Amino acid sequence: MKKYLLPISLIFMVGAFLLGFIQIDNVSSDKKGEEVINYGVEDIPDNLKTVTNLSKRNEDIICAISKGLVSKDIDNNIVPSLAKEIIKSEDGIEYEFKINDNIYWSDGSKITSDDVIVFFRELLKEDDEENIHALLDVYGAREFKDGKTTFEKGVAIKSKDNSVIIRLNAKNDKFLSELTKPQYRLRKYLIMWENIKKNYNDLVYSGDYKITSFVDDKITLQSNNNDENRRVINLINDSNVELSMASFEIGERDVVINPPQSQLNKLNNDGSLITMPKDTGVYLYINDKNNISLQGRREIYKYISESMEEYSSSNEKSFELAEGSYFRENKEDLTKLQTRKVISNKEEAWSPPKVLTILCRDDSINRELCRVIAKWFDENTDISIKYSLLKDDEFNDEELQKRYDMILINNEANIFDKDKFYKKFVNYMSDDEKEILLSSNCNDDVYINLENKIFEEYKIVPLIFYNENIAYSKKISNIKMDGNGNIDFSSIQ
């Protein structure tokens, strides 16, 4: 048996004390001894039972008020949370999570391994399959989900001596990483989280915060510590980020996620901006069925890359150039990048059209990218760019997509989940490529060969990787995201 020791008690006690204080002006305090942070959000969800329809910022609420067995820090390291020690069997199939002895619900009662067992049973029953792949890998879990067995008799999730013991169907190297996601954070009486607005006061919470108020335009979170100086976080519905920034400018907001691009340079110069890499990229599909030759696709990619490079010189906080890499981490492979740069600069005969068309989902970033691309082509080539920005239901029309020369595709560029990444492109691949991708024999070599093929044919090529930007007021000296892109409220100083 291989042990992963997670010595957290002392660290968390000291960390909670040190991170628990922010110097805040008296004008921001609702009550004596309370430290108040106002965080502007674009919407406030009523349903926190499932993450299916939640944005990252919605998930932040779950992360503030609940904890999982393990979590993931900003460097993608698996770190302790409810579990103080993990014992993994040599064959990688069984995990024992030893629960910390000093963890409590918000009402002061102790959190036990039995609480985790009950939660996992409820999660399997209530959540959508797409959200709980890790649990469905547990022996007997799918049969329970399908109503073919009971949880107690059929599912290999057991409690013993305040440990949670889980046995998988087969080795899964991603299992611990999956367990760090918000949906696996411990929530008691999960069914009641479907109407959190109505039930918040009847619930207990496993996280650093609890909900103390929920009205239409504001959720108030209060830290669970018993110190005189408790921290209060108000999540305020501002409808859009522009409203959040207007309130930020007059001192009524302390945290704004992804402020308008026009504000980034000023915020950075004022020392009020944190920029972090984000696992989201933009990729360009060039339709090879629209009489665009290989050289034509190569030239189009070259032109659009140049437009992005020119734009990034004054907008480096918003995104990072992909430079031929499908994952941000692969930019360190200089040999591969140089090879792709060389083949991208090949010169062959091509008769460019007068007009090229682009299709993409309608959002503020895609609007800006299309504007930049169209402007660059107008100033540097004889080709005009016409683009269409559509809502999801229209964008997903496959017959409509076939009529466009190019499509901008947003994808989660998580190098640890290549299967999900490449399957996002499956509708833009040939029948042979689809067959390879949808087979059960995919491994790193298969993905590398597939990636090389779609790049060298200039069918699906990488353009940029987004950054996450956080504007913070002078009350705050530090704030971080975790490895899943959610705010780590314990990091606020």
User: How do residues 397-424 score in pLDDT, each as one tens digit?
Assistant: 999 999 999 999 999 998 878 888 999 9
pLDDT at residue 219, rounded to an integer: 96
Tokens of 84: 């103080």
- Nearest-10 Cα torsion for 336, 340, 342, 348: 160
Over the Cα atoms of the chain, what is R_g?
25
The 10s digit of each residue's pLDDT in 174-204 is: 899 999 999 999 999 999 999 999 999 999 9
Q: Which fold has domain 277-468?
A: Dipeptide-binding Protein; domain 3 (3.10.105)
Kindly state the tokens that stand for 313: 């010189």
- List phi, psi (to 5°) of 93: -100, -30
pLDDT of residue 229: 63
Q: Around 361, how many Cα atoms within 13 Å sit in the side-chain half-sphere?
A: 10
Provide the b/e sequence for 253-266 (b: ≥16 CB within 10 Å): bbbbbbbbeebbee
Residues 395/360, Cβ–Cβ less than 8 Å? yes
pLDDT cut 90: percent of the chain above it? 66
CA distance linking residue 234 with residue 214, whole number of Å: 10
Query: Torsion-angle region of residue 292: left (phi > 0), alpha (psi -120 to 50) or beta?
Result: beta
Write down the pTM of the prediction. 0.78
Structure token pair of residue 357: 């068309």
C-alpha distances in Å from residue 273, one per residue of 57, 312, 444, 484: 18, 18, 37, 20
Domain ranges of the chain: 2-233+473-491, 277-468
Grouped pLDDT means (10 residues each) for the chain, 493 residues:
44 36 36 78 92 90 96 90 95 96 95 98 95 95 96 96 96 93 97 97 96 94 76 91 94 93 90 89 91 91 95 87 92 81 76 95 91 97 96 91 95 87 92 85 86 92 93 88 87 77
2-233+473-491: CATH topology is D-Maltodextrin-Binding Protein; domain 2 (3.40.190)
